[in-house]
Amino acid sequence: MTSADDREALLSEGEIALVGRVADSSNATFVAEVTRGDDYAWAIYKPLSGERPLWDFEAGLYKRERAAYLLDTALQWDLVPATVIRRDAPLGVGSLQWFIEHDPAEHYFTLLREHPATHDRLRRLAVFDVIGNNTDRKGGHVLHDEDGAIWAIDHGLCFAAEFKLRTVIWDFAGDAIDPDVLDAIAPLADEVPDAVADLLTQREVRAIRRRTQRLLDSGLLPADATGRAWPWPLV
């Protein structure tokens, strides 16, 4: 199960069995086993039925989890683990995301201090979060897997039309964005992939294009002028 296509296929077609609930999650989140023949994996299941009502996001945060994966797939950045929507899941419709084996003691802040080789990847994630308008990029949402890859999880609070970025990734503010990254995001200023747009509102799709264009115009990672654009808790 090395390719994203293989992982997505298993998540889409496999039989789901709940293992347990993730502690300290604001919405109901479950670890699940997914099996299909001899193939087996763990996954993270977030059902619509377990979402708490929010004033600034409509119900259906699971769609945004899928949209983040599809946006990452379009960019070919491999930041977001394979994520599908399952309507036949045990507690009803929700997102099912490939579980990343990782050291829970490592997160954004430890990577920043102890793993400088990850910094380019973290800068790319900062760009991804600006485009997706992530309102909840905590340090613990950045994972370091056993192969040294960086992954980003928890994208239910993304893609709002109103700009309200909240993230811990401010250490690269003002840095020039790599030209390859600018080339990759440039098409989004003109058109958002249909698969992403279909999961969002028209206002949210237009906002993705606007945020992308601002990054292209400035060529720099933005700074937090208010000093308040941080999530809580930080990890």
The CATH number given to whatever domain includes residue 82 is 1.10.510
pLDDT, position 210: 98
CB neighbourhood size of 145 (10 A): 14
pLDDT, position 219: 98
Sign, CA torsion 46/52/53/55: negative
pLDDT, position 109: 97
pLDDT, position 23: 84
pLDDT, position 146: 87
Chain-centre distance for alpha carbon 34? 21
In a domain, 225, yes or no: no
pLDDT, position 134: 98
Give the mean pLDDT per block of 10 residues along the chain (235 residues). 86 96 89 96 97 93 98 98 97 98 94 95 98 97 93 98 97 97 98 98 98 98 94 93
User: Quick one: three-class SS letters along 160-193?
Assistant: CCCCCCCECCCCCCCCECCHHHHHHHHHHHCCCC
In a domain, 134, yes or no: yes
In a domain, 231, yes or no: no
In a domain, 233, yes or no: no
pLDDT, position 170: 98
